Chain A
């Protein structure tokens, strides 16, 4: 199942997340703000974000397999109780790369920074936006491909 990606993170969101963390630590956080923190706060990158990306990779990978592409992508759904290592980041980006390289891109489809690919840097909010923008583009391309197969099907069946 495709989960709606998050592609509109901004620096303001990061500042908001930091502000809420400050309030947690100073015991001044309100109940509403606690709820905001525990929901999918845009200024933080957590298990929820990784799992959403992985689930969307899985969605695209399954579609591609059905379309005859042989590359199967194995993704993991993470628990909050686990810890995410450098190799896990490298695998995470490698899976994104598989989807990226299997399908053509729009000229506007963003790239992935090489430092991330090698596990040498953390994501920032623009990287996180780029990854999900890219997956969204790929979804559009796959869905267009599926639609075009249906048209071809109709033509081959010959209704004239």
Chain B
């Protein structure tokens, strides 16, 4: 069993400004800011080191759809040396970088790579911090050298592994992957906690925690030697057990209770976006897919992930739209309110992405008694509700005006103010509005003086909707939900049905099982036919897992 993670400076790539001169016209230095580059197998006859007799590979062609990384115009001579060595010069704009080295990928398809490489690291005053010569021996190579707080790195490629070859760089990572085996991890300390709410009444953040021995791992936090500085807040950890993906997590806290071990606590991507600010707005048939892109943009996670809706996987939600008012809030709360209003489920387990889909799309699977640890099955009744209460909201443009701001500004510049109630029309005196939505207005003060902003409010009315058990003989126990103004007369009926049905799932079951399930698995356990909503996985020791399911008595 192994736990692997990248010791990578997660901010370095997005902050980097890579530059390289004398490169081919189709080269794109900015691919080094992307998480990965499509390096489809391509052959090119006219390069001496690229003749590929006996291989079935596509012919090299220039296409806007394919990124090849960086190809040097310079070609190694007959002794493999570059007469004018290609130089990759990377500076870091905002934050200096810290890493245990620079990991580069070259041309995997033919295992073509540079041989002699010199790297210099500089601080923000351009003072040399460190310099090292390397001899590369593979298409993927870590140029290992721990350097803290560098603002510029200059990589000079002096020779190639073959004559008459051009340098091809396809990927850069500021750091490296670390593999920890069982011996590096304190017994019974590595856990993943996964939780799921079928209709997003709450949105749980899955967590990973483990405690590692400092002397066995690649750093020593007592002496502050090794790669400790590369293990930083929001560090991306990929948890893999026996080649199976157990999810991607981001470091939240590092702590130590003694001099020998270090505790790592990490959250899934929901934990990362948890506190990011989301502007919200008044929505009218606003595509849910667009809303997710807004979340990605607001939480600044687009650089962590590739592809459409970076960091999210949306299952058949193209036709879903939002209506109503979402006040300014955190990205996590915005996501919760939106998914609640649409009856959608948010799941981050076993993936590096946030999957959002309808609960109904989950597949049913079965577990056998042999996979359950003996005498661990328990069954219980859940809290009983006899009615579901849900407010829906109607929003329309009103006529009431409200003064939002009346203040003297002494400095010119750009400012913003938020509102407690949604505004559909702004007027401003003494400054100029740059942009606005229902919750926030950005304005520019060009001349010092009094600025007055007035807004015309939306009118909001609410209606209580109730779904009740008609045959109750006791007093009513109502389930009420938090205020969510994305619930309108259009979607409230469907939500009432879903929640009424959900609270008719009267039974819960718990058990310890030998091999973890997946959170959305629909299973039968202790005669309860239900869905796995909670799981605590002991990663190191047998992968024993505590599970909870919510469901109804098995009628089969």
**Digit string of A82-103 for contact with B (CB within 8 Å is 1, else 0)?**
1111110100000000000000
Which residues of B lie under 8 Å from residue A82 when comparing CB positions?
46
Select the residue from A25, A47, A49, A125 with max chain B CB neighbours within 10 A: A25
The smallest beta-carbon distance between A34 and chain B, in angstroms, is: 8
Which residues of B lie under 8 Å from residue A45 when comparing CB positions?
45, 51, 53
Q: Are B78 and A78 in contact (CB under 8 A)?
A: no
A44 to B55, alpha carbons, bound, how many Å?
12
> Closest residue of chain B to A41, judged by CB?
B51
Q: Are B53 and A125 in contact (CB under 8 A)?
A: yes
Q: Are A38 and B46 in contact (CB under 8 A)?
A: no
> Closest residue of chain A to B112, judged by CB?
A25
Q: Are B59 and A86 in contact (CB under 8 A)?
A: yes
Q: Place the interface of chain A in its size category.
A: 20 to 34
Select the residue from A47, A85, A121 with max chain B CB neighbours within 10 A: A85
Q: Are B111 and A25 in contact (CB under 8 A)?
A: yes
Query: Is the CB of B44 closer than 8 A to any CB of chain A?
Result: yes
> Closest residue of chain B to A90, judged by CB?
B59
Q: Quick one: which of B45, B48, B49, B73 contacts A89, CB cutoff 8 A? A: B45
> Closest residue of chain B to A20, judged by CB?
B162
Q: Are B62 and A25 in contact (CB under 8 A)?
A: no
Query: Is the CB of B155 closer than 8 A to any CB of chain A?
Result: no
**Digit string of A7-22 for contact with B (CB within 8 Å is 1, else 0)?**
0000100100100010
Q: Are A81 and B55 in contact (CB under 8 A)?
A: no
Query: Is the CB of A37 closer than 8 A to any CB of chain B?
Result: yes
A84 to B60, alpha carbons, bound, how many Å?
7
Select the residue from A45, A122, A123, A128 with max chain B CB neighbours within 10 A: A122
A25 to B161, alpha carbons, bound, how many Å?
6
Which residues of B lie under 8 Å from residue A123 when comparing CB positions?
45, 53
Q: Are A85 and B60 in contact (CB under 8 A)?
A: yes
A92 to B58, alpha carbons, bound, how many Å?
16
The smallest beta-carbon distance between A113 and chain B, in angstroms, is: 12
Q: Are B61 and A122 in contact (CB under 8 A)?
A: no
Q: Quick one: which of B24, B49, B162, B164 contacts A83, CB cutoff 8 A? A: B24
A111 to B164, alpha carbons, bound, how many Å?
32
Query: Is the CB of A124 closer than 8 A to any CB of chain B?
Result: yes
The smallest beta-carbon distance between A52 and chain B, in angstroms, is: 13
Query: Is the CB of B75 closer than 8 A to any CB of chain A?
Result: yes
Which residues of A lie under 8 Å from residue B43 when comparing CB positions?
122
Query: Is the CB of B47 closer than 8 A to any CB of chain A?
Result: yes
Which residues of B lie under 8 Å from residue A125 when comparing CB positions?
53-54
Q: Quick one: which of A47, A49, A85 contacts B59, CB cutoff 8 A? A: A85
Q: Are B75 and A83 in contact (CB under 8 A)?
A: no
The smallest beta-carbon distance between B170 and chain A, in angstroms, is: 16
Q: Known: A21-B162, A25-B161. Contact between A89 and B53, CB under 8 A? A: no
Q: Are B59 and A46 in contact (CB under 8 A)?
A: no
Interface set, chain B 72-106, CB cutoff 8 A to A? 73, 75, 78, 80
The smallest beta-carbon distance between A44 and chain B, in angstroms, is: 4
Q: Are A14 and B45 in contact (CB under 8 A)?
A: no
Q: Are A80 and B53 in contact (CB under 8 A)?
A: no
Q: Are A14 and B61 in contact (CB under 8 A)?
A: no
Which residues of A lie under 8 Å from residue B55 when comparing CB positions?
122
Q: Are B54 and A14 in contact (CB under 8 A)?
A: yes
Query: Is the CB of B243 closer than 8 A to any CB of chain A?
Result: no
Q: Are A85 and B56 in contact (CB under 8 A)?
A: no
Q: Quick one: which of B44, B61, B78 contacts A87, CB cutoff 8 A? A: B61
Interface set, chain B 454-482, CB cutoff 8 A to A? none
Query: Is the CB of A2 closer than 8 A to any CB of chain B?
Result: no
**Digit string of A21-47 for contact with B (CB within 8 Å is 1, else 0)?**
100110000000010011000011111
**Digit string of B286-310 for contact with A (CB within 8 Å is 1, else 0)?**
0000000000000000000000000
Query: Is the CB of B57 closer than 8 A to any CB of chain A?
Result: yes
> Closest residue of chain A to B111, judged by CB?
A25
Q: Are B59 and A122 in contact (CB under 8 A)?
A: yes
Which residues of B lie under 8 Å from residue A21 when comparing CB positions?
49, 162
Query: Is the CB of A50 closer than 8 A to any CB of chain B?
Result: yes
Query: Is the CB of A119 closer than 8 A to any CB of chain B?
Result: yes
Q: Quick one: which of A11, A34, A50 contacts B45, CB cutoff 8 A? A: A50
**Digit string of B19-59 for contact with A (CB within 8 Å is 1, else 0)?**
00000100000000000000000011111110111111111
> Closest residue of chain B to A119, judged by CB?
B59
A37 to B71, alpha carbons, bound, how many Å?
23
Select the residue from B43, B48, B59 with max chain A CB neighbours within 10 A: B59
Q: Are A14 and B53 in contact (CB under 8 A)?
A: yes
A44 to B47, alpha carbons, bound, how many Å?
10
Interface set, chain A 100-136, CB cutoff 8 A to B? 119-125, 128
Query: Is the CB of B449 closer than 8 A to any CB of chain A?
Result: no
5 A-B pairs (CB sep. < 8 Å): A24-B162, A47-B45, A83-B60, A84-B44, A85-B61
Other A-B contacts than A47-B46, A119-B61, 4 sampled, CB-CB below 8 A, are: A14-B53, A46-B45, A46-B47, A128-B53
Question: Which residues does A use to contact B, with CB under 8 Å?
Answer: 11, 14, 17, 21, 24-25, 34, 37-38, 43-47, 49-50, 78, 80-87, 89, 119-125, 128
User: Which 7 pairs of residues, A with B, have the shortest CB-CB distance?
Assistant: A84-B46, A86-B61, A44-B51, A86-B59, A84-B45, A14-B53, A45-B51
